[in-house]
Structure 1
Amino acid sequence: MPAPATAHRVRDVVAPLVEAAGLVLEDVEVTRAGARSVVRVVVDLDEDATGGLDLEQVAEISQSISDAIDGVDVPGTEYTLEISSPGIGRPLTERRHFTRSRGRIVTLRLTDGSTLRGRIDDVDRTVPDAVLVVTPQIPGEKGRPPVIGDPVRVPLASVRDGRVEVEMGRLAEVSDDEDDDAQDATSAGQES
């Protein structure tokens, strides 16, 4: 059962810490799990950052958030703190979500009811309302390469939301260093 009032209080406590760490607070959720509470805090990098959160950043912000929550006794019960990043499945709804997804293939649901699938090449933030620059891609049939169109400009105001698509072919492009970093992150996450 969600505890919205408690989530708002946790958000008030942790938002300044997250901002001071140069991160963005995506979401806070507090739920009951028996006699305990589970406090979930989702943080992300600033929209101009590249890559993802590393374990060091997560560890630092986790300790700060835990200390702050303990200091004001927000949940009022024993709790488990979970800190995470939004992940690939989150809906893209804000400009910074689209900016962070540059270079990825997305499916956009537009306000006119249509959809557009393509790679986000850029987000033009020099205009009053941001504009997405998207190269349309229509998947090829039975192993054929996708049909790639000319880049189009899509005003962010005409986008209802978007979803990043996992590109299986790009997984093979991961360098050995990135693969080793991902393996280290997975191992460290299992130990805590």
Structure 2
Amino acid sequence: MSTTQIERLRALLEPLAAARGMDLEDVRITPAGRRRLLQVVVDTDEGVRLDACADLSRDASAALDASDVMGDAPYELEVTSPGAERSLSEPRHWRRATGRLVLVTPHRGTPLTARVTAADEAGVDLEVPGEKGRRPTARRVEFTEIAKARVQVEFNRKPAAADDESQKEA
């Protein structure tokens, strides 16, 4: 499970994901009893549908069978999306999180929970909720200032105005 093996897997799998319009986000190998679990994490700007994961899984399985990158030991292949509480580490992750609530931990200062309003290659624009009835405030954070960030799961989020209109038409 050396870095070299992960690099070889990335080199094999990245073109397959790209051919299907996906970004290869991560490749992980973990022990699973007598087998190993090869997890291939992919994403797109629109999200990843189950049938797209299945198609990529078939492509990856054929490519892995034709190569020696996994060796002779048995393994299970899992193609998946990043999940609801994904870590945000690339500008594309932030673009995909537009409208979502995030927890940002800066290198210096206090962690901040805010909504992503926009992102570019240098940083992210956030809307920080107002406290005690105050209005939300806009804040720009450069990626170099961020130690880590993660999308937060919202169970009671009210739909945006555009969502309200589409629900009225239905």
Tell me which interval the TM-score lies in, with the shorter structure as reference length: 0.7 to 0.9
CA shift at 1:67, angstroms?
0.5
Summarize deviations over 1:71-114 as a string: whole Å, max 9, x none: 00321222210111111222212211111100011111112232
Matched residue, 2:58: 63
Residue 67 of structure 2 aligns with an amino acid whose one-letter code is V
CA shift at 1:155, angstroms?
1.7
2:155 aligned with 1:168, yes or no? yes
2:54 aligned counterpart, secondary structure = helix
- How many equivalent pairs are there? 161
**CA distance in 2 between partners of 1:148 and 1:96 (Å):** 28
Q: Say whether the 8 Å CA contact 1:37–1:75 is kept in structure 2.
A: no
RMSD of aligned alpha carbons: 2.5
2:127 aligned with 1:135, yes or no? yes
Residue 136 of structure 1 aligns with an amino acid whose one-letter code is V
Cα 1:118–1:130 shift into 2, 3 Å: same
Q: Say whether the 8 Å CA contact 2:129–2:137 is kept in structure 1.
A: no
Residue 153 of structure 1 aligns with an amino acid whose one-letter code is R
Summarize deviations over 1:40-83 as a string: whole Å, max 9, x none: 111111xxx23x21112111111111100000032122221011
Matched residue, 1:20: 19
When normalised by structure 1's length, the TM-score is 0.73
Cα 1:19–1:139 shift into 2, 3 Å: farther
When normalised by structure 2's length, the TM-score is 0.82
Q: State the identity %.
A: 34
**CA distance in 1 between partners of 2:58 and 2:158 (Å):** 32
CA shift at 1:172, angstroms?
8.3
Matched residue, 1:82: 78
**CA distance in 1 between partners of 2:141 and 2:130 (Å):** 17
Q: Say whether the 8 Å CA contact 1:6–1:30 is kept in structure 2.
A: no
